[in-house]
Structure 1
């Protein structure tokens, strides 16, 4: 890592880089073992330290879990889709940090006559905003608001975790809606259709506007949005295994090991088919078609005799050219006047 990227950092700040530009398990492990552990208090088997974080894939690794068990650190994965309420940094620190960073950036550009912020200025600006946003008062308030410490199970409204009803999928037409009281006959303004069963059903906005009141129309649309399709078979993702649990416990450690072993392709399973397919795709990419050079080669052959020394081959070349491509005046592909010149000059009248 280029040391100039940490220019203007505060004492104790550290950083690293990755080839992809994203966080991975190696960077997270380096952060825990080389940086964060220096600020942990004394711990033992009877008095461990609890570390709360989200279930990102880079945070869940067997080597990290095993190291945390040896260091008496409990790694607790927050339940999925709850970090906006339960993750203390999201609740009370990252918002002020973003505001302070924007202020520091605007101040920097004013003081440097509008010079753009480069990657060598980020660390100085971020450290300045970090000291203001992550104050002891903000950190303590964030833990209280997220009910982590002191523990308060009633601090967060359960309605924050309800799924959005507008995004739920509707059931198929053959299955009735499972919600009571939302049948079409119970809707206000519903009028039974007088159309006979033998007549074809015509679905159009004009027909609906004549037979259904506006209130019933919107109620019907809400019903179709809130009715769900039958649940499908859930895949066994790692996030569903560790969500809301301490991954340093023995049972969770074994569950992660089993999941990692199941993900590895067997010697005779689908893994080899996938790898062979990938190899075929790589080979096909190497032999991609290239643009044809027949036109360029043809023009090169025509203009090779610019001095007009070899007159005997001109007739042979013109005879091999299709009649539709020859000049209608001289009956040649390239007139003799053009063959004998070195350059062409065009003038606009």
Structure 2
């Protein structure tokens, strides 16, 4: 059996058509442990959109969604750790490491972008042209480095980033907003970002379009995946791992409604050994080789083993190599790309 390879240039990328309906549903993503600076997740209060009916002279018109109110500055808010911050005007120079995906939905470029070992999030680079890389491989940048960027708003995507005096140091440079876990609830975190920087309408339209895409994909896939299970196997320098409802696994299970393997029914991540292979019960298997973190050795070990070749999904040709750059990422753009991949592979 020959695995199929998906690349960003060969799949459908119908990214986020504009929409006027504001159907914002909470999309909960459980956090999982990942290599040091490569973890991203969101959690914040969810946004609501009010719908209003517009009667006409001849007949009652269909209800239309009310446009979100633009932020008025000065704007004082409280972040998820209880810090109060005031923005005197709409921020123009934003530093929000590992939230570049959400900023892209809003059409905003930050003053610098998160990087690991000199590499930014590859799937976003077409949207981040000209944005300098800031390496997080050895931890958060020093206050001196941040000061040189001259930000007027700093957003930290998880509470860990604010520890060890970082919040206190950064808040002397610019107002700082801290999420507890930013990719845990994308509806909430994208909405909050929109409110902070005066892009509420862009946030609402981007989220509504994404949810419409999810519903359309579910309808297309439902007759093909009834009673089927899917599983993602991730490879990095530490080993092989089965992924549950996290990153690409969140899209498969929680967004598209594809049943999970029993092996990860109650887990977000489970280390995989060759001895576990006979227990794999998935009809579709997606392989995400974390190339930035040297997963090639374990990938070759798995795919070359006799036990692997005896798995029904392997024998049926239903194993696919996928792009780790967004299957292991969290955000509206990443999730939209995963949906495109699934449709291309399962419902071409």
- Using the size of structure 2 for normalisation, the TM-score is 0.20
Q: Which protein has the bigger helix share?
A: 1
* Greater RCO (Cα-Cα under 8 Å, separation 6 or more): 2
Rg larger in structure: 1
